[in-house]
Chain A
């Protein structure tokens, strides 16, 4: 893969809910430029938005002195997104949301962000920073969902 086919875009977002839309729009623009189909762009937008919301709410705990880093790397057939915060990472993956339990008040109605991320992209991993902060989530979405 030639270097000219790889493009990196970096953002630094305020720790303030709503700014995830800046990352979402940037990711969508990049994916459109790289020829991603509309349905994959929509998947990417939701996954990036949810990753940024998690970073703002849980990673940076709404501390407006901190920022959220977003690094988008476009390759010819995929886009990788890293969303970096100052939190200590996740201790364990939450259980898959259960609508019946939610409807019966046995589970919080919230808590679907990580599930949506995993369901919508081809790869998702949560990485804890070595210093106990600068944790990140790495997402990878392929141009062709069925590609190996």
Chain B
């Protein structure tokens, strides 16, 4: 019943010259999305990945289990001294991410361009 979560990784360069891994999600982010969220993150080489962008542009539905997966990703990233930023969230999910405190550990931006410009 829950739509499959798709994810892919793009490697881009910020205007500052820093390499950035962009995890792009599509579909729902729910309890069934562990492989798409944590699996995609864990596929990144830890030694060379310092900056990570999470792209939610193609995501329509995120529930509390999906938010928990994002928090687990943030925990793993913090333990690896990586910085994580998000973009593409709807106004509603920007509010929800702010309510649960994710903004304390991951900056939110409207677009990829804005996020990259800040790195």
Contact = CB atoms under 8 A, between A and B. Distances in A.
Given A112-B68, A116-B99, A18 B1 contact: yes
Interface stretch (A67-75, A77-85, A98-106, A123-131): A98-106
Interface residues of B, number: 28
Contact of A21 (B1, B31, B67, B102): B1
B22 interface: no
A63 to B, nearest CB: 16
A98 B105 CA distance: 12
B72 interface: yes
Given A19-B1, A46-B92, A97-B100, A109 B63 contact: no
A49 B63 contact: yes
Interface string B59-94: 001011101110110110010000000000011100
Contacts of A119: 99
A110 B65 contact: yes
A119 B98 CA distance: 12
B102 A110 contact: no
Contacts of B71: 99, 102-103, 109
Contact of B105 (A16, A43, A46, A99): A99
Contact of B72 (A24, A109, A115): A109
Contacts of A50: 63-64
B71 to A, nearest CB: 4
Nearest to A49: B63
A53 interface: yes
A122 interface: no
B64 A116 contact: yes
A113 B1 contact: no
A46 B95 CA distance: 12
Interface of B: 1-2, 28, 30-32, 61, 63-65, 67-69, 71-72, 74-75, 78, 90-92, 96, 99-102, 104-105
27 contacts: A18-B2, A19-B1, A21-B2, A21-B28, A21-B61, A39-B91, A42-B91, A42-B92, A43-B92, A46-B63, A99-B104, A102-B75, A103-B71, A103-B75, A103-B78, A108-B68, A109-B69, A109-B71, A109-B72, A110-B65, A111-B68, A112-B68, A113-B64, A115-B99, A116-B64, A116-B96, A116-B99
